[in-house]
């Protein structure tokens, strides 16, 4: 059996309660992930940060 290579992370909006769920590779050492994505509650592109 092989090991799981992906980890599920949660990206939370900085301006509303909306969130995205994504998969991240376990080998990468990214601690602070931030992406600019569309927020359907506000209808704008907003910065999403990684939940700790």
Q: What is the pTM of this model?
A: 0.79
Structural domains of the chain, count? 1
Do the Cβ atoms of 23 and 34 come closer than 8 Å?
Answer: no
Q: Tell me how far apart the alpha carbons of residues 24 and 37 are, in angstroms, rounded to a whole number.
A: 16
**pLDDT tens sequence for the chain (52 residues):** 667 788 899 999 999 999 999 988 888 777 888 999 999 999 999 999 998 7
CATH of the domain at 45: 2.20.28.120
Q: Would you state the pLDDT for residue 2?
A: 64
Question: Which residues span the domain enclosing 34?
Answer: 6-50
Handedness of CA 51, 11, 2, 29 (dihedral sign): negative
The answer to whether residue 1 sits within a structural domain is: no
């Amino acid at each position: 059996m092989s090991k799981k290579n992906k980890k599920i992370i949660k990206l939370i909006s900085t301006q509303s309660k909306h969130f995205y769920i994504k998969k991240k590779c376990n080998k990468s050492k990214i601690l602070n992930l931030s992406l600019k994505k569309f927020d359907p509650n506000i209808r704008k592109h907003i910065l999403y940060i990684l939940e700790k």
